């Protein structure tokens, strides 16, 4: 595997202490990405066995496979399997564009967090993805639906970017998806990759609460993730 880092965390797997592995590389270039240069540049080679040897089993209840976009590296299948064999809970963080890889590790996953970054018609503008609207929609919905069918707990999440998005966009997303939990996250402009996106404001808690109400017209379990 090529990885940009690993860290101990108490927030990346709900209510569990986890070790997070960040795999290098990404197929998106999101305008708001906070760490794109490192994600693309830092590539430490490590085998699955070497990584798992570095995990402290006395402190770790869960392994979180994150990135970048971890599904670009097929070794995550072996990683998820071996982590599960060792008795860890396993979570995958993904942008949802590789259902063909996700389908191969679902049997080892307990939790999957899938980005639904914006309404599908805005994806190209926000992420510079190669897929058109229909293609990106099909891939992400396929990842969500396969995960739900497999009985994995599915969190979908959107970082709400004021001025780039509005409440109609949140409604459009909520109408299209199905999940166990939908999270609307607060946007932080300070380290956005695209300078233009540093001009957009951080939304206030009250604004996110209103968006939560909009999403709740379509989804039963909606939360906001607010840092400030
Ligand atoms: S998918 Fe995530 S890691 Fe990749 S560019 Fe977007 S925000 Fe950054």
The per-residue pLDDT for range 71-120, each reduced to its tens digit, is: 999 999 999 999 999 999 999 999 999 999 999 999 999 999 999 999 99
Per-residue pLDDT band for 215 (boundaries 50, 70, 90) equals very high
Task: Report which of 112, 127, 30, 97 is spatially closest to residue 65, judged by C-alpha positions.
Answer: 112
- Taking the whole predicted model, whether its pTM rises above 0.75 is answered as yes
Mean pLDDT of 21-38: 95
pLDDT at 196: 95
Q: 127 is in which domain, residue-wise?
A: 2-225
Q: Is the pLDDT of residue 227 over 90?
A: no
Q: Is 215 in the pocket of ligand 1 (CB under 6 A)?
A: no
Mean pLDDT of 37-61: 96
CA 138 to centroid of ligand 1, rounded, Å:
19
Q: Is 39 in the pocket of ligand 1 (CB under 6 A)?
A: yes
Q: Is the pLDDT of residue 181 over 90?
A: yes
Task: Report which of 192, 136, 111 is spatially closest to residue 159, judged by C-alpha positions.
Answer: 192
Q: Is 95 in the pocket of ligand 1 (CB under 6 A)?
A: yes
Q: Is the pLDDT of residue 147 over 90?
A: yes
CA 25 to centroid of ligand 1, rounded, Å:
9
pLDDT at 13: 98
Q: Is the pLDDT of residue 184 over 90?
A: yes
pLDDT at 191: 86
Q: Are 137 and 173 in contact (CB under 8 A)?
A: no
Mean pLDDT of 155-173: 98
**For the chain, how many structural domains are there in total?**
1
Residue 104 sits in a domain whose CATH number is 3.20.20.70
CB hemisphere CA count around 36 (13 angstroms): 13
Mean pLDDT of 127-135: 97
The number of the ligand 1 atom at minimal distance from the alpha carbon of 35 is 8
Using CA positions, which residue lies closest to atom 2 of ligand 1?
A: 68
Share of the chain above pLDDT 70, in %: 100
Mean pLDDT of 55-61: 97
Q: Is the pLDDT of residue 228 over 90?
A: no
pLDDT at 71: 98
CA 58 to centroid of ligand 1, rounded, Å:
31
CA 143 to centroid of ligand 1, rounded, Å:
17
Separation of alpha carbons 108 and 65, rounded Å: 12
Q: Are 94 and 102 in contact (CB under 8 A)?
A: yes
């Amino acid at each position: 595997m090529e990885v940009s880092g690993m860290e101990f965390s108490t927030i990346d797997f709900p209510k569990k202490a986890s070790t997070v592995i960040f795999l290098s590389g990404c197929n998106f270039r999101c305008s708001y990405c906070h760490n794109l240069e490192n994600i693309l540049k830092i590539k430490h080679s490590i085998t699955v066995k070497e990584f798992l040897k570095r995990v402290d089993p006395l402190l770790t209840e869960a392994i979180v496979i994150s990135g970048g976009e971890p599904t670009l590296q097929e070794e995550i299948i072996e990683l998820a399997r071996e982590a599960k064999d060792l008795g860890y809970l396993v979570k995958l963080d993904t942008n949802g564009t590789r259902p063909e890889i996700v389908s191969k590790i679902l049997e080892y996953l307990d939790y999957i967090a899938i980005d639904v970054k914006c309404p599908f018609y805005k994806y190209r503008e926000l992420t510079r993805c190669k897929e058109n609207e229909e293609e990106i929609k099909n891939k992400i919905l396929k990842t969500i639906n396969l995960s739900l069918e497999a009985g994995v707990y599915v969190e979908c999440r959107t970082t709400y970017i004021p001025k780039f998005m509005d409440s109609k966009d949140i409604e459009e997303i909520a109408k299209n998806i199905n999940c166990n939990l939908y999270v609307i996250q607060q946007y932080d402009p300070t380290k956005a990759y695209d300078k233009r996106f540093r001009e957009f404001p951080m939304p206030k808690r009250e604004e996110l609460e209103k968006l939560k109400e909009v999403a709740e017209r379509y989804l039963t379990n909606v939360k906001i993730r607010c840092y400030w």
